Structure 1
């Protein structure tokens, strides 16, 4: 029982005890008073009636005596008046046996009043004329006692309810600091740090609140320092300080993750050869200024893509990963890049050596080394061509579709539900199942298309909202048949940016209230990178748990993790796939995992393929894992 309820019950019990005691005293005193008054009334009546009857008895006027008795009997509430005429050997009796009105029978049956009785002998000198007996009726006493005590009980009940209400208000106000302390303690337990608790006026509670606020502030600073340290390690390992972009190591890790996910697209290498001449003519400061301007232009150009990776991989080369495989669109993109770079140069002496672009379209059999080699070959061919040349290395892939064919296929899949579902388990290191992640593919009569091949087109044609609602609906229906299962569903970046999507999602979730607790939503990290503030409101009111997928691809998001408060983060495969390399420095990965874990987010490693990887990941503050050590399986 809470302290609030204990205090409330204790005070109310004391009030009830006081009420019962006061009521009992009042009841007893009122009963005694009424009984005494009835006895006095009976005695007075017997005395006055005897004096009035004596003259009639002396003359043996029986009729006159009866008239006097009738007058007295009718004028008061008496149960019985009896006159024994000794000389005439006659008895006159008047009785009233009716029960009092507006008094319950159970109250009368308590026997609180017996009825006062008084006997008197009527004489004339030494001669006894008769014997008079007067017995009072207790009905009036019962009536007065019932009315008085009923009113008193009503007032006591009204006061009790009023005191109850005032106590509720007063205790909630007085104990509000304790409630705030409890909420703050729970937030600290979940590694969430909110605003400081307002200091109460109560001295004892004020000291406790000050201690809690100081402790929460110190822990928040410590966790922020951990996040900052992880970001410093990340910048040291994957950041190019001159351009503000990723370095070559970052680009290689992202290429590995990109290929492993089966995401189609292309690698674009941009060589700005005039940087070397600019360094010689103007100095490194002017060269660095040019590098920053080019990096800014490339970053703005990349915002049209849902996912991308941008890096400076050498003194005069930039590299870009984009989810675009259409040759014509890539050619236009390369020309736009050359044009933007050329606009940075004022009156170029030799426009031939400003920049060139080489591209390689990702193919199914590619690995990172092969992909970068083909892109570098395309870049060398571009250098030997004319100014601003764009060379694309590609081959016609089996089942490769054009943009319009992709759109038609995706819309047909949404209309006819051509999606095949499978799932992959997520385990902690104790072997306990955390949840399963849902994978989708489009299956036709001829071929099956993996999600990585058509999701870029889903983003381009802005079909993500329809796709996500369709898949979430299927997942909820499947969860209804599997009450023991927890299922995670990935959302597209386009959906995350649409306010209407979150409204439709709320309506869909409302249809499956029982299944919502077992549904998890995975949002791509890039969605927070572009629209973090816009996502905070819908995520705060979301009825399901959620996590961040591909965590670690973008810089500076780790320091904001405490504001986002996800249930879990799935580390990007680019950082976990290298843990078995002999020269791999795991300090950054350990710092990221430790920081995320200290902020209350479960850290999950992805694409884990061997038991040796598991042993290494155990030492890096990773909570759980998924990968081909537990292959995906089809859902019925």
Structure 2
């Protein structure tokens, strides 16, 4: 229960106790006062009537007429004259009449008045006694009216107190909500700062939380600087800030070791022709600036995921297959010829570009050898600038893109979708979760994500696949209470707000206990490009109990602004770094990444673990979990 509700309950209880006690005390005091007045009236009237009768002739008829006349005034319920022996000589009484008041009120506050008794004399002798009881119905009706007026007054005062309390609580609510939001953010590993409220106790609390946030940010900044220095020292080309040859080799090894590829990649080898002559023509400084422009142009091209400098003049480029390899080669070369010209006298840039699809290759050595051979062929046939390797489609039954899209839609509509599970293991050997990889049945054959996503991406159909996978995963989680799953989320899903609402609505249809066993993972590069969208989506997912993680993490982690505000639960480090953990350079980088993540209380998971022998070494580095071909 929220603090505001507790305050409201406390205020209501206090008001009810105060008004209730005042109400009943006032009602009983009024009743006692009226009862006292009625008792005095009974005694006074009985005494007066006895005095009158004592002075009269003791004729019974005359006495009865006098008592009847007195009774008929309507102020009495009973008048009785008794003789000396206590026998009733004459009596007048009124039958019970309905009273205009509720029964519960009558039973609770009914009057019990003793009759007034006085002695009647006959000279010096005692004639008898007279008993008189006044009518109480009028007093009961009057008491009921007073009580109603009192209750109405209390109700009006209570409403006024409620309005005043609401205004005061709203003034308290604003800083209190701010403190609650700050505390929830800290609980979700989002280290934010808040303005200090005027309330003294809340101010002390906010100051303490802001101080904690400041310390965490200072530690993060220090860790980031150290990580950035290590990255620039060991993994990046000092001139262009592209990755170096070692990273390229490691990335290729990780790609071919991974049997469950999310999609097919295209790779290119870009060569600067006559780099020595360019250096003599422009000078070293201008040449370096031109090389940086070249690398930046390639990195900004749609679909490019990696640029690595193999040597002085050769650059290795990895791209998602958003189009055919040949189309991308032509388009990329055309953009480079436009933006990277050395001077206006040339119509093309001094560049050669060759490419192929990695699906046609089987190893790192074969890939680099094939690219080198293609580059030699292009160099020997000027003015040829580019060449691509034509290879068969990975699944050539549906060669037409439109047929692919139709087949994918039919498979989803027929629920021919199945996740293939790969374990993620904790340090103690227990299961953290299982990665659910897409399998789709087309023409009675189960196809992997790598065979499907390239086609789906061309028609922007990946979000529908994400929705179908999530729906299937929720069904499995609901059926098996011990199952924990992690799903990869595509770039189209992350960048489309309408899809966010669709997935959140789907998650709201299942109990929170099911959502708590689900993790959604996003590529690090996507989070960098769409950080605000990610923070909004991740916050909504966390509110439903879903865990959120980043996959393929590594050197770009420093490019994420305010990492502490993302609210993520774990990082999965890219296999391109993990595979080289035995080298001192990669070990330092991994240790820096792990320390940065642990500062934010994040789990760190190594991707691409190949052999059982690597498990102990990676655990010694500080990894909290492992996944890959070597994890059974």
Q: Deviations over 1:247-282 (max 9, x none)?
A: 223323333333344443332111112331121233
Whether 2:409 is the aligned partner of 1:414: answer yes
Whether 2:23 is the aligned partner of 1:41: answer no
**Aligned residues of 2:418 and 2:472 also touching (Cα < 8 A):** no
Match of 2:567 among 557, 565, 568: 565
- What SS does the corresponding residue of 2:268 show, helix, strand or coil? strand
Match of 1:255 among 252, 255, 260: 252
Q: Deviations over 1:190-240 (max 9, x none)?
A: 4312232333143x5444433432332232222233234323322333222
**Aligned residues of 2:190 and 2:566 also touching (Cα < 8 A):** no
Supply the distance in 1 between the matched residues of 2:355 and 2:368 (Cα, whole angstroms). Answer: 9
Supply the distance in 2 between the matched residues of 1:11 and 1:337 (Cα, whole angstroms). Answer: 71
How has the CA–CA distance of structure 1 residues 76 and 201 changed in structure 2, closer, same or farther, with 3 Å as cutoff? same
**Aligned residues of 1:565 and 1:601 also touching (Cα < 8 A):** no
Supply the distance in 2 between the matched residues of 1:449 and 1:77 (Cα, whole angstroms). Answer: 102
2:623 matched to which residue of 1?
A: 622
How has the CA–CA distance of structure 1 residues 11 and 439 changed in structure 2, closer, same or farther, with 3 Å as cutoff? closer
Whether 2:199 is the aligned partner of 1:198: answer no
How has the CA–CA distance of structure 1 residues 251 and 45 changed in structure 2, closer, same or farther, with 3 Å as cutoff? same
Residue 284 of structure 1, CA deviation? 0.3
Supply the distance in 2 between the matched residues of 1:36 and 1:442 (Cα, whole angstroms). Answer: 93
Supply the distance in 2 between the matched residues of 1:431 and 1:540 (Cα, whole angstroms). Answer: 30
Stretch of structure 1 that moved more, 284-293 or 186-195: 186-195
How has the CA–CA distance of structure 1 residues 143 and 339 changed in structure 2, closer, same or farther, with 3 Å as cutoff? closer
Residue 4 of structure 1, CA deviation? 6.3
Written as runs of structure 1 = structure 2, the 5 A alignment for 1:473-492 is 473-492=471-490
How has the CA–CA distance of structure 1 residues 534 and 46 changed in structure 2, closer, same or farther, with 3 Å as cutoff? closer
**Aligned residues of 1:414 and 1:470 also touching (Cα < 8 A):** no
How has the CA–CA distance of structure 1 residues 154 and 598 changed in structure 2, closer, same or farther, with 3 Å as cutoff? same
How has the CA–CA distance of structure 1 residues 353 and 476 changed in structure 2, closer, same or farther, with 3 Å as cutoff? closer
How has the CA–CA distance of structure 1 residues 406 and 232 changed in structure 2, closer, same or farther, with 3 Å as cutoff? farther
2:220 matched to which residue of 1?
A: 223
1:372 matched to which residue of 2?
A: 368
Stretch of structure 1 that moved more, 514-523 or 269-278: 514-523
**Aligned residues of 1:266 and 1:322 also touching (Cα < 8 A):** yes
Stretch of structure 1 that moved more, 151-160 or 563-572: 151-160
Whether 2:240 is the aligned partner of 1:238: answer no
Supply the distance in 1 between the matched residues of 2:10 and 2:336 (Cα, whole angstroms). Answer: 81
**Aligned residues of 1:355 and 1:387 also touching (Cα < 8 A):** no
**Aligned residues of 1:423 and 1:439 also touching (Cα < 8 A):** yes
How has the CA–CA distance of structure 1 residues 7 and 522 changed in structure 2, closer, same or farther, with 3 Å as cutoff? closer
Supply the distance in 2 between the matched residues of 1:167 and 1:557 (Cα, whole angstroms). Answer: 48
Written as runs of structure 1 = structure 2, the 5 A alignment for 1:607-618 is 607-618=608-619
Stretch of structure 1 that moved more, 24-33 or 620-629: 24-33
Match of 2:306 among 309, 312, 337: 309
Q: Deviations over 1:324-358 (max 9, x none)?
A: 4946435534753663477333325xx99922223
- What SS does the corresponding residue of 1:75 show, helix, strand or coil? coil
2:118 matched to which residue of 1?
A: 119
**Aligned residues of 2:264 and 2:359 also touching (Cα < 8 A):** yes
Residue 630 of structure 1, CA deviation? 3.7
**Aligned residues of 2:253 and 2:576 also touching (Cα < 8 A):** yes
1:279 matched to which residue of 2?
A: 279
Match of 1:546 among 536, 545, 548: 548
Residue 424 of structure 1, CA deviation? 1.3
Residue 50 of structure 1, CA deviation? 3.9
Supply the distance in 2 between the matched residues of 1:341 and 1:16 (Cα, whole angstroms). Answer: 78
Residue 143 of structure 1, CA deviation? 4.3
- What SS does the corresponding residue of 1:102 show, helix, strand or coil? coil
Residue 132 of structure 1, CA deviation? 2.9
Return 5+ residue gaps in structure 1 as ranges.
Answer: 632-636
Q: Cα RMSD over matched residues? A: 3.7
Written as runs of structure 1 = structure 2, the 5 A alignment for 1:55-66 is 57=57, 60=59, 62-66=60-64
Residue 73 of structure 1, CA deviation? 0.9
Whether 2:433 is the aligned partner of 1:435: answer yes
- What SS does the corresponding residue of 1:43 show, helix, strand or coil? helix
1:358 matched to which residue of 2?
A: 354
1:526 matched to which residue of 2?
A: 525
Supply the distance in 2 between the matched residues of 1:264 and 1:545 (Cα, whole angstroms). Answer: 28
**Aligned residues of 1:181 and 1:212 also touching (Cα < 8 A):** no
Supply the distance in 2 between the matched residues of 1:277 and 1:356 (Cα, whole angstroms). Answer: 16
**Aligned residues of 1:352 and 1:387 also touching (Cα < 8 A):** no
Whether 2:588 is the aligned partner of 1:587: answer yes
Q: Deviations over 1:588-631 (max 9, x none)?
A: 11212222332343322222233332222223332222223444
How has the CA–CA distance of structure 1 residues 22 and 474 changed in structure 2, closer, same or farther, with 3 Å as cutoff? closer
Supply the distance in 1 between the matched residues of 2:599 and 2:359 (Cα, whole angstroms). Answer: 40
- What SS does the corresponding residue of 1:83 show, helix, strand or coil? strand
How has the CA–CA distance of structure 1 residues 364 and 74 changed in structure 2, closer, same or farther, with 3 Å as cutoff? farther
Supply the distance in 2 between the matched residues of 1:508 and 1:272 (Cα, whole angstroms). Answer: 51
- What SS does the corresponding residue of 1:192 show, helix, strand or coil? coil
Residue 81 of structure 1, CA deviation? 1.2
**Aligned residues of 1:270 and 1:319 also touching (Cα < 8 A):** yes
How has the CA–CA distance of structure 1 residues 171 and 328 changed in structure 2, closer, same or farther, with 3 Å as cutoff? closer
Stretch of structure 1 that moved more, 20-29 or 263-272: 20-29
Stretch of structure 1 that moved more, 441-450 or 65-74: 441-450
Residue 412 of structure 1, CA deviation? 0.8
Stretch of structure 1 that moved more, 602-611 or 6-15: 6-15
1:634 matched to which residue of 2?
A: none
Supply the distance in 1 between the matched residues of 2:388 and 2:397 (Cα, whole angstroms). Answer: 17
Residue 312 of structure 1, CA deviation? 2.5
Return 5+ residue gaps in structure 2 as ranges.
Answer: none
Residue 364 of structure 1, CA deviation? 5.9
**Aligned residues of 1:526 and 1:554 also touching (Cα < 8 A):** yes
Q: Number of aligned pairs?
A: 619
**Aligned residues of 2:527 and 2:560 also touching (Cα < 8 A):** no
Supply the distance in 2 between the matched residues of 1:468 and 1:2 (Cα, whole angstroms). Answer: 36
TM-score by length of 2: 0.85
Supply the distance in 2 between the matched residues of 1:165 and 1:432 (Cα, whole angstroms). Answer: 56
**Aligned residues of 1:352 and 1:388 also touching (Cα < 8 A):** no
- What SS does the corresponding residue of 1:586 show, helix, strand or coil? helix
Written as runs of structure 1 = structure 2, the 5 A alignment for 1:96-245 is 96-98=94-96, 101-103=99-101, 113-123=112-122, 125-126=123-124, 131-149=129-147, 151-152=149-150, 155-156=153-154, 159=157, 163=161, 166-167=164-165, 170=168, 173-174=171-172, 177=175, 180-202=178-200, 205-245=202-242
How has the CA–CA distance of structure 1 residues 23 and 339 changed in structure 2, closer, same or farther, with 3 Å as cutoff? closer
Supply the distance in 2 between the matched residues of 1:264 and 1:127 (Cα, whole angstroms). Answer: 131
2:342 matched to which residue of 1?
A: 344
